[in-house]
Amino acid sequence: MSSLTHSPKTSLSRCPAGLFGWTPLISTAGLFFLIGFVTWLNGPLISFVRVAFSLSDVGAFLVPLAFYIAYLLFALPAARIASRTGLKSGLALALAIMGAGSALFGQCVVLRSYPGALGGLMVIGAGLTLLQVTVNPYVSLLGPHDRAAQRIAIMGLCNKFAGILAPIVLAAMVMHNIGGVAEQAQQAASVAEREAILAGFTNAIYWPYLGMAALLGVAACAVFLSNLPDMDPPETLTLSSPGFLITSRLGFGMVATFLYVGIEVLAGDAIGTYGQAFGMPLDQTRFFTAFTLFAMMTGYAAGLCLVPRVLSQERCMVLSCVGGILFAVAAYLTTGYVSVLCVALLGLANAMIMPALFPMAIRNAGRHVPLASALLVMMFSGGACTPQIFVLIKPYIGVQAAFLALAAPAYLVLLGYGVWFSVVPSTRKTV
């Protein structure tokens, strides 16, 4: 991490615009790269565990369920930890927890323990929860409010670039012959032969995840020993703290965040399963998550250019929601690769929703920003629920109808939130 020359103790909630410049943003961007790489491995992991443990779609989609449910379970405890540790120590602890979860996942996969592997993913999710609670408000408040979406877009570019690399790296190292392995396992003459084939396949993931655990451990030490500003810990608050109310801006923002993350994860992690419904082979669909994330990266780059020079972040969010509705409908009305392309293009629509939604929801939170942020991070658990609902209902109504039934209402709610709260005076006390 780069050295900073200003006072090492600064209050996050009172950080004036431009105090830190680009140095901490670059450091934070590196953290978002790690977040993206770890998070967006889930898409190809769904295909991996389906073959490795001979699972149904419902069983395989326990991967995002275990990962994202951690946000619901650990967001408030993470906020209390962050309030005690401050920025730098909280970031280091979060990275260390993620490293431990990565090592646990790799070990349990080799031991052929699917519950243990899911436990490892939950530990990774717990570390990411602490990281999100610590770093998101830091980025939002590092400068003027009307450029918060621009700063978050920079983080998003790093996050999604890592997400593009994640399935490609995993496919090259572990899943290069996943279609052949699945066929060999199905044609095995005995249970013992099938288990031997699958054991060889699962062993290939051990060293990549152990290497990732080591990298996260090194990153944790680097953050802890760096000169990254160690902010004064925010005041420890609870839902019963005096003056805190979950009012319309924050309450509806929580609902909107839950729905948004669900659709983002659905478009990224379930696109492979969506393509398989049209008969596309595993050797192709294992890369589909990267297409969605490439579209998101394109959207972030456009946002950096347009917000706030041409469009306000609120107006950009509204247009993004309209685009999401149009792409979801187009995916339903088309078939095959064109339909899959429309699902991938949801990444383009999704890119600038969260960068506007998060600062919009915590606006005017004052000293309650850490608690408001934690409540929003809890709503990232939408990524656990929406994909699971998708695989439960698609056998009954079809993959395209299931996708539309989840995506269209979510974008409509997000559109309503963006329209309403972009016209609510920003000076009104809404949290």
For 11, which DSSP code? B
Q: What pTM, to 2 d.p., does this model score?
A: 0.84
DSSP state letters, 23-90: HHHHHHHHHHHHHHHHHTTHHHHHHHHHHHTT--HHHHTHHHHHHHHHHHHHHHHHHHHHHHHHHHHH
Q: Give dist(CA 211, CA 224) in Å, integer.
A: 20
CA-nearest of 249, 291, 66 to 163 is 291
Cα-Cα-Cα-Cα dihedral sign, residues 165, 46, 339, 330: negative
CA 238 to chain centre: 25
Q: Give dist(CA 183, CA 197) in Å, integer.
A: 10
Give residue limits of the domains in the chain: 21-228+239-423
**105's tokens:** 């996942």
CA 32 to chain centre: 10
Q: Give dist(CA 417, CA 256) in Å, integer.
A: 7
Contact (Cβ atoms closer than 8 angstroms) between residue 4 and residue 228: yes
Contact (Cβ atoms closer than 8 angstroms) between residue 194 and residue 185: yes
From first to last of its 431 residues, what are the pLDDT tens digits of the chain? 333 333 334 444 444 434 445 666 777 788 888 888 888 888 889 988 998 898 999 999 999 999 999 999 998 888 888 878 876 788 899 999 999 999 999 999 999 999 999 999 999 999 999 888 777 656 665 566 666 666 776 777 788 788 888 878 887 787 777 778 878 888 787 788 888 888 888 888 898 899 999 999 999 998 888 776 665 545 545 555 655 567 778 899 999 999 999 999 999 999 999 999 999 998 888 889 989 989 998 988 888 888 878 888 888 999 999 999 999 999 999 999 999 999 999 999 998 898 889 888 887 776 777 778 788 889 999 999 999 999 999 999 999 999 999 999 999 999 999 998 776 544 444 44
**391's tokens:** 């695989």
Angle between helices 191-203 and 42-52 (to 10 degrees): 160
CATH superfamily of 21-228+239-423: MFS general substrate transporter like domains (1.20.1250.20)
Angle between helices 336-350 and 248-269 (to 10 degrees): 150
Longest alpha-carbon distance in the chain: 71
Which amino acid, one-letter code, is at 203?
Answer: N
